[in-house]
Structures are given as structure tokens and as C-alpha cells.
Amino acid sequence: MIRGLSFQVYAEDVDDILCKILESIPAEKYHWFNDLKQTEGWYYTAQGDVEPFLDRTYYTGKELLTEFRKRYMVIFLKLSAYLDEDYKEIHTYEEFYESKCEFIILAYDCNFFEIYSKNHCIIQNIYDSVRRIKSSNIQYILDTNDERKVLDVL
């Protein structure tokens, strides 16, 4: 069974990867939860300064798309998408599978991404979007090749 998708993108080649991911799915219909303990990055301001990246726990889909249209650098990130606001902290695939969480986006080391989803159409849409940009090592995460023990980046 397909669990998700993994790929690598270099920030100097694609600086809006998170926006491209969200634009390939109906992101606005979800409630997004950002694990602040597993988020590090910054926004670049027009003056060349940096500001904290995603400094809140909760975002609507519209708010998150707005945030990802800014110029940013993500070091690591864990985002969870729900159809309602019934958020639950998730650390394993089994917890994810049994929860109301629709999908999880994991980013780490600036350019590695893993996306877990219960909806195969979402996985396929993201796969198609990622293939159109400069990315590498795109592969489906399956029951048989998923080496991740926890759905955390730290």
C-alpha cells in the first residue's frame, strides 16, 4: 500500500516548494497544525533581514498558502492537515493511520521532503507537481520500503 511520497529539492533551485505542494491539492479546505518544536526556518524580508518562520501552531489553508508565497528557507518542518480542528499529536504511522489527520508534511535538512497521506489522489497530485520542478530521488513510500519509525523530524 502507498503511504506517501519522498523527494529531494534544493532550495537554491526551487525556493517555493511548499507553495507548489499546497497548490497541487485543495489546501484551503484543511486546518493546518504546525509542530513548533519541529519547525525551524526564516523568512527573508525585502530589506535583506530574516524573520521567524511559521511562529504559530494553527493556520487555515488560505493563511498557509500566503505564508508559503513569501521568500523563505526551511530547515525542518512538521505540518499536519485535518478537515476539522480536532488536532492530535502524531508520532507514528499507526497513530497517523488511526487518526483524523489527512496528511503530514515532513521537511528536514533544508531539502528533503516526505509526505504521508491517506488519500492516494493527493499523493498522485503532489507527485505530478514535484515531477514538473527540479527535484530528485522521487519515490513512493510503501508499506514495504518505509524505513521511518516515527513521523517526526527531530
What ranges make up the beta strands (E) of the chain? 2-8, 31-34, 40-44, 50-52, 58-60, 72-82, 101-108, 112-117, 136-142
Which of 57, 148, 152 has the alpha carbon at shortest distance from 104?
Answer: 152
Number of domains forming the structure of the chain: 1
For residue 16, what pLDDT is reported? 81
Cβ distance 141 to 16 under 8 Å? Answer: no
Whether residue 148 is contained in a domain is answered as no
Residue where the block lists cell 513548533: 36
Q: Which residues of the chain have pLDDT under 50?
A: none
Q: What is the pLDDT of residues 27-44, one digit of tens each?
A: 999 999 999 999 999 999
Whether residue 153 is contained in a domain is answered as no
Whether residue 61 is contained in a domain is answered as yes
For residue 84, what pLDDT is reported? 93
